Amino acid sequence: MNKSKSIAVLHEHYPKDFFDTLELLFKNQDFHTSLGGYPMFADSIIVRERDLLPIVNAIFSIVFGKAPAVIGSKFPGLQMWEKTTYPPGVALREINIIRNPVDVVNSYVAKTDGTLSGDAENAFCDWLNSFNYAISQRDNGDFLWLLYEEFRLNENQAIAKRVADFLKVEQDFDLAEMASSGKKAEPNFLENNSGQVVLDVITELFDVENWVDDAAEKIAAGCLVGYPLPSSGKIDMTATGNSWKYVFKGFYPAEDDGSWTKGEVGTICFTPEKNISGRLYTTLDISWSLGIHDAGTTFSIYLDDVLIGKTTLTLGASNGGSNLVIFDSPEFVQRSKSVTLRVVVGNPRNPAALGISDDNRDLGIMIRSISFAH
């Protein structure tokens, strides 16, 4: 894409680092603004509203030797990193290239010298989060997903046209350097500690023999794909637990007592060992909630977008203990192979904003575990 006169893409540069670093240029403006004297010095200081975009454009012009209309960064897994705040005038568009999970785990784990490095299960779960992100963004007009396996020499011009139309630029690039081998993906990670487990999970969740069609169908269906959960198992949200396999978004990193919900919505996805139909009990073991002046935390639980319960929790002296909240779904019907659970918090609170502590997170409830019985 960098062959285009209109496009300039950095190699794996975290956008937040880029824009946050530029914000340091405007500390002087912020200082004078706090004193009420900013307009007086506007002609002799760097001004965010006037100068930020020209500075950004100048950096890309220097690096790439052209004046691009589209700037960006190739950054795998960006959805798992802290969200970037983009300045006014920068319109965000995303291109997500999805590859067969077997090949992706190969590239993470199996090195060209034949050695194995890293963990196959972690690699697959990172990939699964990215795949689910594509599903969640399928109706977003500023998001374009492409399948790596569709990059073939006789198809690349058509794909380049799709990319150019999406970015609203002239198609003066051909993507000729990108080409799938067309060969069936074979696992090279089976000797890894979790290698066979991962292959079994991949073949359970995806039709690897017809990967291109299966991926397109799953994205079009709009249902997240969840890691398998045994019938007797639970989602352990503590630091030593297994929640990293099941959390899609909306939770802070796990701690000893569990994971705090992040903002208003936390999303978890799992694939039951057996299809669920009929009465279902969903149990949340809640270790902490942030109550203010005896005002509890209100939250709702949704399974596959169906509300199964809502409550307000005031733990008080029970904070830090085991507090079981059980939701009864008399006639639950599983609508796809995987089940999506959403925790929707009505009143998340920020301890720093409330003057309680220096904790600047938007907290709802801390969940120790989630289990299901049917």
CATH number at residue 327: 2.60.120.260
Position with higher pLDDT, 264 vs 317: 264
How much is the mean pLDDT over the chain? 92
Specify whether 313 is located in the same domain as 291.
yes
Residue with tokens 């405007």: 26
- The answer to whether 118 touches 168, Cβ cutoff 8 Å, is no
**Is the pLDDT reported for residue 19 higher than 60?**
yes
Whether residue 299 is contained in a domain is answered as: yes
Domain extent at residue 216: 94-143+181-221
CA angle 292, 298, 301 (to 5 degrees): 150
**Domain membership flag for residue 341:** yes
**Contact predicate 317/270, CB 8 Å:** no
Whether residues 265 and 203 share a domain: the answer is no
Give the model's pLDDT for residue 35: 87
- If asked whether residues 57 and 116 sit together in one domain, one would say no
The one-letter amino acid code at 120 reads: A
Q: Final residue of a domain: which of 32, 56, 80? A: 80
The region of weakest confidence among 18-27, 114-123, 204-213, 262-271 is 114-123
Q: Are 226 and 271 in contact (CB under 8 A)?
A: yes
Q: What is the pTM of this model?
A: 0.91
Domain total for the chain? 3
Same-domain pairing of 287 and 343? yes
Q: Which of 168, 201, 221 is the last residue of a domain?
A: 221
Percent of the chain with pLDDT over 90: 76
CA-to-CA separations, 118 to 78, 194, 346, in angstroms, rounded: 20, 10, 39
**What is the residue type of 205?**
L
Q: Is the pLDDT of residue 146 over 60?
A: yes
Domain boundary (28, 58, 80) is at 80
Tell me, yes or no, whether 131 lies in a domain: yes
Q: What is the mean pLDDT of residues 154-165?
A: 90
Q: Are residues 70 and 33 in the same domain?
A: yes
Residue 293 and residue 207 share a domain: no
Same domain, yes or no: 324 and 285: yes
| pLDDT score of 113 more than 70 | no
Q: Are residues 247 and 366 in the same domain?
A: yes
Residue 38 binned pLDDT confidence (cut-offs 50, 70, 90) = confident
Residues 215 and 238 in one domain: no
Nearest Cα to Cα of residue 188 among 250, 238, 266, 115: 115
Phi, psi of 173 (to 5 degrees): -140, 160
User: Which of 264, 124, 122 shows the shortest CA–CA distance to 185?
Assistant: 124
CA-nearest of 141, 58, 50, 137 to 89 is 50
Q: Indicate if 189 and 117 belong to the same structural domain.
A: yes
The answer to whether position 259 is within a domain reads yes
3-state secondary structure 158-188: HHHHHHHHHHCCCCCCCCCCCCCCCCCCCCC
Rounded Cα distance between 192 and 185, Å, is 17
The answer as to whether 172 is a domain residue is no
* Pair 235, 366 in one domain: yes
pLDDT at 155: 79
| pLDDT computed for residue 213 by the predictor | 95
Structure-token match 């609508």, residue found: 335
Please check whether residue 34 lies inside any domain of the structure: yes
Q: What is the DSSP string of 293-349?
A: TTB-EEEEEEETTEEEEEEEE--GGGTTS-EEEEEEEEEEE--SSSEEEEEEESS-B
282: enclosing H helix or E strand: strand 277-289
How large is the average pLDDT for residues 248-258?
A: 97
Residue 116: predicted pLDDT: 59
Instruction: Supply the pLDDT for residue 114.
Output: 57
Q: Is residue 1 part of a domain?
A: no
Give yes or no: residues 267 and 296 share one domain.
Answer: yes
Alpha-carbon span 255 to 322, nearest angstrom: 15
Task: State the burial class of residue 350 (Cβ atoms within 10 Å of its Cβ: 0-12, 13-18, 19+).
Answer: middle
In this predicted structure, the answer to whether residue 112 has a pLDDT above a threshold of 70 is no
pLDDT for the residue numbered 42: 85
Q: What is the pLDDT of residues 168-211, one digit of tens each?
A: 999 999 888 887 877 888 898 998 889 999 999 999 999 999 99
pLDDT (average), residues 15-38: 91
Identify whether 135 is part of a domain: yes
